[in-house]
Chains A and B, each alone.
Chain A
Amino acid sequence: MQLTLEQVSEMAPDASAAAAGKKLAPLKNWESLGRSAEAIWGLCLGSAKYQVKVDLSNLGYHCSCPSRKFPCKHVLGLLMLSASSPEALGEGAPPAWTADWLERRRQRAEKKAERSETEAARPVDEKARQRRVDQRGARISDGLQRFDLWLKDLVRNGLAAAETRPASFWQEQAKRLVDAQAPGLASRVARLAAIPRASRDWHARLLAEMGRLKLLMHAWERIDQLSPELQADVRQLLGWTAPQAELERDGEPVFDRWVVLGQWVDDEDRIRAQRSWLIGRNTRRTALVLQFAAPGQAFAEAIVPGAEQEATLLFYPGAEKQRARFHDRRGAVESVTARPPGHASLEEMLSAAAAALARQPWLSSFGVVLHDVSLVPHEETWLVRDHVGQALPLAGRDHWKTLAISGGGLIDLAGEWDGYGLRPLGLFLDGAYRVA
């Protein structure tokens, strides 16, 4: 494993943990350091001696300290030490406290795999299953019908009134949709609250999103007429996620050398949602890995922007597969040293997005890599400009760090395109990755 200090800092749950980790990084705080092909470990001399270990294949970690931050400062310190002076960790066999932990992890993973296999193989009571499916379908249909009336009311009386509505106006509807077991639709409705007044053309944006929700409901009414892939998409969009066992069966495993393009965390709700975009070096496919965690808790998988690893991702079923999760991370996690595949021009990026939308019209964002672009700063809307002089707006206004690093020259930019603007997530310059 070879991560940069910046990447390790990005793993920290907050700035103070990163600073505390940095303080622990000097060699004098450590004893019994070592590394093997699978893991790194060390004893950190804090207020007690803590056993710190990191599994290199997936950056899983453990520390014997009582901290409630994940990763704790000791884990961050070990990773920073290993990043800044790798020679300090000699090759060797792991001590018992590391070997045991690795073994337990392996057993747990195997047990999990076994369980999902047996679950998949277990004969299901087809009748009972069908009854449950029908019940849920009926509840969703009910909820959607009521929501449909509300939506029509809104457009009948005019969107002008929406401008002054409080957030609760939208949240009330979202809550009802959660009760109707359509949490996916609910969170899309909750996000409508942010549109009014946010931009000059907010009413067009609001109407567009309302129209797409209407299309989704329309699709739900005719779900039997759709292809199995689109059916899966519609269910997912409504929030009717397939059980893990079904995902194992229907998901598409894709092995590749996956590059983490960047991520952002949405922590407006009680649950923090992490969105990470990845791209495969060989398949050129992009994947969106979503993770959820309670505040202060760690995300289950350590996904580090600018790192790459040979792994198998399991894509959720759908007409245009985007969402995925890690299935098997075996290769070493390494820092990016060359730019990943990407679009040569903005037009190429837009036509790829259009092609994807033709297959699945509800896609709301795309992870993209743009080769050889530059930033154009502007008081109102920043632009990203490709080498033929075409430009698209950037989302947000604070891209100073990216501009400073690029110096106005050409960079390879990774970001999330939502149809209106590109949100920069990371950039590649001289082979190295930087968080944007």
Chain B
Amino acid sequence: MMEELARIALVGTAKHPAANHLGAGPDADALVGCLPADDVEHAFLLRAGVQAVLAQCGRMPVEAAPTEPSPPEKKPFASPKIASLLQTALAANSRDLFVQFLACLDEAGLLLPPELLPAALDMNDSAVRAGLVPVLGERGRWLSRFNPAWRWAAEGTLRLSAHDASALRAHWEEGSSRERIAALESLRRGNPDEARQWLQESIDKEKADERLKLLDVLREGLSPADEEFLNTRLDDRSEQVRGLAARFLARLPGSALAGRMRERADALLSGERRGLLKKKFKLACTPPEEIEKSWQRDGIPPKPPAHRGKRAVWAETILSMTPPSHWCERFELAPAKLIEAIEEDDFAEAVLAGWTSAAIAFSAIDPASAAWLTPLWHYWLGVAGREKAQLHANIQEQLQLLLRAMPPAEAEAALLAALEGDAFARRSQPLGLLAALPQPWSEALADSYLAIVRRGLKRFDDRAMRLAETLSLAALALPRSQLEGDLVFVEETAAVATNSYQKQFVAREAAQFLETIRMRKAFYQSLASESACAAAKEAAPQK
């Protein structure tokens, strides 16, 4: 009835012939009956009103199939108190703190409280997502099924349990770019040869940037069995893909490319003893004037990037694809001596950059090459102390990459030495270097860090500003044992009232540092009391 009225109203009572003779049931007619017959709209609207009320009174529910409820959980949810702390970390936009809390939650065997799931599943950050996967629980995975934007939660599960071959195959054949890469990564971990075959079958159908991403999956579990396939990629249309294939091949010690590179490298560097007593060992680098076409196929760029000489770029590229341990064998000298021996050469910068890339790339597979990391770190730190400012970005990057490649203890030791040294204080940017260290920091590092900050912060000079920049990182990286330590000096700094920009900046960073420390403490305390509670419940005898 209401639909019929609505159809008439849509056209207009003036144009619709049926408008005038409508019945609306006895209730409406009782109302409408006593009206002048010529007022069509009046009667029509009254009818509509009565119908509307009748329709609302007569509203009936419909049959609906139930939603399948979430399966039972194997682990308990964290309490509302923890939920509110997590919420604060989420709202404060402190991603790293939230990720840290998620890891603690997982460690304590607790799940993310359900009310946080929608906000958590909306997160678009890969580090956050990786932290979420283990604490989503059955509830989170169940919930993610209802929203296409949350499919990553299922992909994450896929990544963790990689053995359902048909599911992987389905993702590989029909999935989005990210799903395909995730499926290939899973397979590569369990069955590297099959993963390579999948890739081999379809890589030529892909666009260049997709080929690059897919090829990069082989980084994990690289083995001589991959050589044949990688060799075919040296003829890829994309220079980037060729370069990546060449770098992978270089890491396979027995590969033909590795052999070719070593020959080129050997031709590059020569050493001789100089001086009266022939005690002083010097290295010289003589890059070729021109390169053959076949070199390009091996990932050596024919044209250098802007502002760089082609010979230097060739030298750097060749050396970066040769394990640095080779030079110790060939010249029978330790890394530090070899570094010293090249420093005065015209191409010293290119050689050292190449060695650095090589040490980082080969450190994971070749312990003798890993021994180069610390000597190179000291070399670059020395350069940072001497050089002019414009070179710093590059040097800073080398230092960070080296730190990341070192084993944690070695990296901390290297940075600790630097923290005490003068070069660090004057020239380099401490923030980036500290960020390259694994977290949480050791107590020794935390101690010396706090000692330096204690001395430096109160001066409110440029250096204090640089130190203040590191506070937000330190607030996350300090080990738990240091949270209870004496931080009064930071509180004093935070409380400084001033008009100077520098002081305000330092005070603000100090206040933020204390806030993060406070949140971490509150979180650990709640977590500890909750785990204790859960343990007590488990230990209690069953009634």
Determine whether A254 belongs to the interface, using a CB cutoff of 8 Å to chain B. no
Contacts of A190 in B (CB 8 A): none
Task: Find out whether the CB atom of B67 lies under 8 angstroms from the CB atom of A357.
Answer: no
Q: A157-B14, A390-B64 are in contact. Are A408 and B53 (CB under 8 A)?
A: no
Determine whether B101 belongs to the interface, using a CB cutoff of 8 Å to chain A. no
Task: Find out whether the CB atom of B61 lies under 8 angstroms from the CB atom of A377.
Answer: no
Task: Find out whether the CB atom of B142 lies under 8 angstroms from the CB atom of A6.
Answer: no
Contact partner, A347, options B6, B42, B61, B70, Cβ 8 Å: B61
Task: Find out whether the CB atom of A408 lies under 8 angstroms from the CB atom of B142.
Answer: yes
Determine whether A346 belongs to the interface, using a CB cutoff of 8 Å to chain B. yes
Distance A15 CA – B62 CA, assembled complex (angstroms): 39
Q: A208-B55, A209-B52 are in contact. Are A26 and B518 (CB under 8 A)?
A: yes
Mark out the residues of chain B between 31 and 60 whose CB falls within 8 Å of any chain A CB in the assembled complex: 31, 40-42, 44-53, 55-60
Contacts of A215 in B (CB 8 A): 46, 49-50, 53
Q: A158-B12, A376-B66, A404-B114 are in contact. Are A208 and B146 (CB under 8 A)?
A: no
Q: What's the nearest-Cβ distance from chain A to residue B156, in Å?
A: 17
Distance A209 CA – B142 CA, assembled complex (angstroms): 40
Distance A22 CA – B56 CA, assembled complex (angstroms): 45
Contact partner, B118, options A390, A401, A408, Cβ 8 Å: A401
Determine whether B220 belongs to the interface, using a CB cutoff of 8 Å to chain A. no
Majority SS of interface residues in chain B?
A: helix
Distance A211 CA – B27 CA, assembled complex (angstroms): 14
Contacts of B515 in A (CB 8 A): 23
Contacts of A374 in B (CB 8 A): 66-67, 69
Mark out the residues of chain A between 397 and 430 whose CB falls within 8 Å of any chain B CB in the assembled complex: 400-401, 403-405, 407-409, 419
Which residue from chain B places its CB closest to the CB of A375 in the assembled complex?
B67
Q: What's the nearest-Cβ distance from chain B to residue A207, in Å?
A: 5
Contacts of A13 in B (CB 8 A): none
Q: What's the nearest-Cβ distance from chain B to residue A53, in Å?
A: 24
Q: What's the nearest-Cβ distance from chain B to residue A226, in Å?
A: 13
Q: A152-B41, A210-B45, A211-B49 are in contact. Are A407 and B61 (CB under 8 A)?
A: no
Distance A159 CA – B9 CA, assembled complex (angstroms): 6
Task: Find out whether the CB atom of A156 lies under 8 angstroms from the CB atom of B46.
Answer: no
Determine whether A151 belongs to the interface, using a CB cutoff of 8 Å to chain B. yes
Determine whether B126 belongs to the interface, using a CB cutoff of 8 Å to chain A. no
Contact partner, B53, options A84, A361, A401, Cβ 8 Å: A361
Q: What's the nearest-Cβ distance from chain A to residue B400, in Å?
A: 34
Which residue from chain A places its CB closest to the CB of B140 in the assembled complex?
A404
Task: Find out whether the CB atom of A354 lies under 8 angstroms from the CB atom of B57.
Answer: yes
Q: What's the nearest-Cβ distance from chain A to residue B83, in Å?
A: 9
Task: Find out whether the CB atom of A4 lies under 8 angstroms from the CB atom of B80.
Answer: yes
Task: Find out whether the CB atom of B146 lies under 8 angstroms from the CB atom of A403.
Answer: yes
Task: Find out whether the CB atom of B80 lies under 8 angstroms from the CB atom of A346.
Answer: no
Determine whether A391 belongs to the interface, using a CB cutoff of 8 Å to chain B. yes
Determine whether B337 belongs to the interface, using a CB cutoff of 8 Å to chain A. no
Q: What's the nearest-Cβ distance from chain A to residue B82, in Å?
A: 12
Contacts of A152 in B (CB 8 A): 41-42, 45
Task: Find out whether the CB atom of A400 lies under 8 angstroms from the CB atom of B118.
Answer: yes
Distance A377 CA – B51 CA, assembled complex (angstroms): 31
Task: Find out whether the CB atom of B80 lies under 8 angstroms from the CB atom of A6.
Answer: yes
Which residue from chain A places its CB closest to the CB of B2 in the assembled complex?
A204
Distance A405 CA – B6 CA, assembled complex (angstroms): 40
Task: Find out whether the CB atom of A403 lies under 8 angstroms from the CB atom of B10.
Answer: no
Of A165-173, A293-301, A381-389, the one contacting chain B is A381-389
Q: How many B residues touch A, CB cutoff 8 Å? A: 58
Determine whether B294 belongs to the interface, using a CB cutoff of 8 Å to chain A. no
Determine whether A218 belongs to the interface, using a CB cutoff of 8 Å to chain B. yes
Which among A213, A347, A404 has the greatest number of chain B C-beta atoms within 10 A?
Answer: A404
Determine whether B63 belongs to the interface, using a CB cutoff of 8 Å to chain A. yes
Determine whether A113 belongs to the interface, using a CB cutoff of 8 Å to chain B. no
Contact partner, A155, options B13, B115, B143, Cβ 8 Å: B13
Q: What's the nearest-Cβ distance from chain B to residue A120, in Å?
A: 36
Determine whether B502 belongs to the interface, using a CB cutoff of 8 Å to chain A. no
Distance A215 CA – B143 CA, assembled complex (angstroms): 46
Q: What's the nearest-Cβ distance from chain B to residue A172, in Å?
A: 20
Mark out the residues of chain B between 362 and 420 whose CB falls within 8 Å of any chain A CB in the assembled complex: none
Q: A84-B81, A211-B49, A358-B57 are in contact. Are A159 and B66 (CB under 8 A)?
A: no
Which residue from chain A places its CB closest to the CB of B119 in the assembled complex?
A401
Task: Find out whether the CB atom of B46 lies under 8 angstroms from the CB atom of A211.
Answer: yes
Which among A23, A211, A215, A361 has the greatest number of chain B C-beta atoms within 10 A?
Answer: A211
Q: What's the nearest-Cβ distance from chain A to residue B84, in Å?
A: 5
Interface bits B64-83 vs A (CB < 8 Å: 1, else 0): 11111110000000001100
Q: A155-B41, A403-B143, A404-B118 are in contact. Are A207 and B61 (CB under 8 A)?
A: no
Distance A153 CA – B92 CA, assembled complex (angstroms): 54
Determine whether A434 belongs to the interface, using a CB cutoff of 8 Å to chain B. yes
Distance A250 CA – B273 CA, assembled complex (angstroms): 112
Interface size class of chain A, counting residues whose CB lies under 8 Å from the partner chain:
35 or more
Q: What's the nearest-Cβ distance from chain B to residue A44, in Å?
A: 16
Contacts of A434 in B (CB 8 A): 115
Determine whether A5 belongs to the interface, using a CB cutoff of 8 Å to chain B. yes
Determine whether B15 belongs to the interface, using a CB cutoff of 8 Å to chain A. yes
Distance A429 CA – B77 CA, assembled complex (angstroms): 15
Contacts of B88 in A (CB 8 A): 19, 22
Mark out the residues of chain B between 1 and 37 whose CB falls within 8 Å of any chain A CB in the assembled complex: 2-3, 5-6, 9-15, 31
Task: Find out whether the CB atom of A211 lies under 8 angstroms from the CB atom of B48.
Answer: yes
Interface bits B439-469 vs A (CB < 8 Å: 1, else 0): 0000000000000000000000000000000
Determine whether A212 belongs to the interface, using a CB cutoff of 8 Å to chain B. yes
Distance A376 CA – B64 CA, assembled complex (angstroms): 8
Contacts of B48 in A (CB 8 A): 207-208, 210-211, 214
Q: What's the nearest-Cβ distance from chain B to residue A216, in Å?
A: 8
Distance A400 CA – B148 CA, assembled complex (angstroms): 13
Task: Find out whether the CB atom of B64 lies under 8 angstroms from the CB atom of A383.
Answer: yes
Q: What's the nearest-Cβ distance from chain A to residue B271, in Å?
A: 64
Distance A153 CA – B9 CA, assembled complex (angstroms): 11
Contacts of A285 in B (CB 8 A): none
Determine whether B160 belongs to the interface, using a CB cutoff of 8 Å to chain A. no
Contacts of B40 in A (CB 8 A): 156
Contacts of A153 in B (CB 8 A): 41
Contacts of B520 in A (CB 8 A): none
Task: Find out whether the CB atom of B67 lies under 8 angstroms from the CB atom of A159.
Answer: no
Mark out the residues of chain A between 210 and 256 whose CB falls within 8 Å of any chain B CB in the assembled complex: 210-215, 218
Task: Find out whether the CB atom of B80 lies under 8 angstroms from the CB atom of A5.
Answer: yes
Determine whether A273 belongs to the interface, using a CB cutoff of 8 Å to chain B. no
Determine whether A329 belongs to the interface, using a CB cutoff of 8 Å to chain B. no
Distance A212 CA – B68 CA, assembled complex (angstroms): 40
Which residue from chain A places its CB closest to the CB of B5 in the assembled complex?
A207
Contacts of B6 in A (CB 8 A): 159, 201, 203-204, 207
Contacts of B61 in A (CB 8 A): 346-347, 350, 386, 390-392
Distance A353 CA – B5 CA, assembled complex (angstroms): 24
Contact partner, A391, options B9, B13, B59, B63, Cβ 8 Å: B63
Q: A152-B42, A218-B31, A404-B118 are in contact. Are A158 and B64 (CB under 8 A)?
A: no
Distance A380 CA – B59 CA, assembled complex (angstroms): 20
Determine whether B498 belongs to the interface, using a CB cutoff of 8 Å to chain A. no
Task: Find out whether the CB atom of A407 lies under 8 angstroms from the CB atom of B139.
Answer: yes
Determine whether B147 belongs to the interface, using a CB cutoff of 8 Å to chain A. yes
Which residue from chain A places its CB closest to the CB of B139 in the assembled complex?
A407
Determine whether B130 belongs to the interface, using a CB cutoff of 8 Å to chain A. no
Determine whether B117 belongs to the interface, using a CB cutoff of 8 Å to chain A. yes
Determine whether B336 belongs to the interface, using a CB cutoff of 8 Å to chain A. no
Which among B11, B40, B64 has the greatest number of chain A C-beta atoms within 10 A?
Answer: B64
Q: What's the nearest-Cβ distance from chain A to residue B529, in Å?
A: 13
Contacts of A207 in B (CB 8 A): 2, 5-6, 9, 48, 52
Q: What's the nearest-Cβ distance from chain B to residue A79, in Å?
A: 14
Give 10 CB contacts A-B under 8 Å.
A155-B12, A157-B12, A158-B11, A211-B45, A357-B56, A390-B61, A391-B63, A392-B61, A404-B118, A407-B114
Interchain residue pairs A-B with the least CB separation, the first 6: A158-B12, A211-B48, A211-B49, A208-B52, A391-B64, A408-B69
Q: A15-B91, A159-B10 are in contact. List 11 more A-B contacts (CB 8 A).
A: A19-B88, A151-B41, A207-B5, A209-B52, A211-B52, A376-B66, A391-B64, A401-B117, A404-B143, A408-B69, A434-B115
